[in-house]
Chain A
């Protein structure tokens, strides 16, 4: 039962353009959503998060949008840079259990 899904396994974007990574979830009890960036053979690095009571959070080039009615969130990276190439995971936090549930990841490739 995959409660957090990232339906696009990969995405290729040209440098300078916008990257949009999507994530869907099924559990309405999640209270926080987080995005992580991960390189092979390394642990995830936190990027940005959003509370379930918000619909947008922005930090520099990264913006996360949350649509609670659609149970959908997205990460926008603009402008995209080659150094952004990595696997991006969305994760959802369950307050009562205090744990994270990860999506399946999207591999972003930013080309020159």
Chain B
């Protein structure tokens, strides 16, 4: 069974700092990997989707990378802002499976 891990569970950074969130997975036979943002008491907002054939995806200040051979994905946030404070979840879709396998998330706090 696919296991997805996100470390650290929580991270605090001062505003303006660049930061990297980590996601690791045990089964490299993934089809794609999706990064989500979850605000307290809210649903999940999709940030980036990386297909297994891709190495990275970019959207604005966000850049996600995927390295299947090492079982890792990273989400890079440039010039962090207080509005980036949220929990970030990664989820892997294994080839042939019907569900996403989620990590438990990294709670990010950006301090003004």
A binds B: no
